[in-house]
Structure 1
Amino acid sequence: MTVQTFKTVAENTQGVQVSVKSRGFEFVLDEPKNLGGNDTGMNPVEALLGALGACKVIVAKSFAAYHKINLKSIKVEVEGELDTDGFSGKNPNAKVGFSKIVSNFYIDADNTDEEIADYVRFINKTCPVADTIENAPEMESYIIK
């Protein structure tokens, strides 16, 4: 078994804006103004949905030839339903995270509908981000001074 460790660093810059860095890359996350931010970037849950969609596209592109899918183009639109009363504390019974996530695949390929449906099942099963969401990993937190 080959285990590779991935690491990001998230650091507050101003207000609720956060700089996220990994391997020399950086992006900014923020909240929309109606949620207390300055709307300078996606918020974390939008980034999560984006990471899920990107992962599915990468899996699709990486395995298309192996599965004999003549993939001309692919787009994955991901939507999540989240009750903001959960994380804001307004409703202690509301789920804090997403209650539902839907992926819509837009695939242009010279394959049958059945072959494409089988391939989408493979993509969903093979995507590491989807697996992480569906099968929560062990989580640990440490306070470093």
Structure 2
Amino acid sequence: MSANKVISVRASMQAGCQINADIRGHKVTIDQPIKAGGSDAGPTPLEFFLFSLGGCIASIARLAATQQKIELRGMDIEVDGTMNPAGLLGKPTEVRIGFQSIVVKATIDADLTDVEKAKFFKEVCHRCPLDDNIMLETEVSHHLA
């Protein structure tokens, strides 16, 4: 069994609605749309979350294709999350605050039959750590520094 790997990200609140991070030298900004009081300098946290899921699936697909000697010419991924924003706005709600559903759709450009593409996509999603974190309960602890 291989050793566990810790991946860390540190975010810092900036002026307005912006949150910045320097992740391995990559400057990343999260913001809110202008109509929500932000300056639209970057995607929202929810958009980044969905992008991260799609990006993880695509990254694993490239890895799996290389391992399986599949010529993966391309893969387009659409991730749609459905949620009720009442809870995050501090309003009473009977539904959970997070996404009630997430739908991931992929178009795979490879010399595979439809059945083979479906099998490959299912395997890739199963190997994606973010898909795993969404599908299964993950312990999250909160602490003040």
Q: TM-score range by the shorter chain?
A: over 0.9
1:115, 1:17 → 2: CA distance?
43
Query: For each residue in 1:72-123, what CA deviation from the matched residue of structure 2 results, as whole angstroms up to 9, or x when unmatched?
Result: 1111111111211121122321321111111110111111111110001001
Residue 50 of structure 1 corresponds to: 51
RMSD of aligned Cα (Å): 1.3
Query: For each residue in 1:19-40, what CA deviation from the matched residue of structure 2 results, as whole angstroms up to 9, or x when unmatched?
Result: 0222222210001123222211
Identity between Structure 1 and Structure 2 (%): 31
Q: Provide the secondary structure at the position in 1 that maps to 2:103.
A: strand
Aligned residue pairs total: 144
- Say if 2:72 is the partner of 1:88: no
| Unaligned segments of structure 2, at least 5 residues | none
Deviating beyond 6 angstroms after TM superposition, the runs of 4 or more aligned structure 1 residues are none
TM-score (norm 2): 0.93
Amino acid at match of 1:101: I
Contact 1:67 1:119 in 2 (8 A): no
TM-score (norm 1): 0.93
Q: Provide the secondary structure at the position in 2 that maps to 1:28.
A: strand
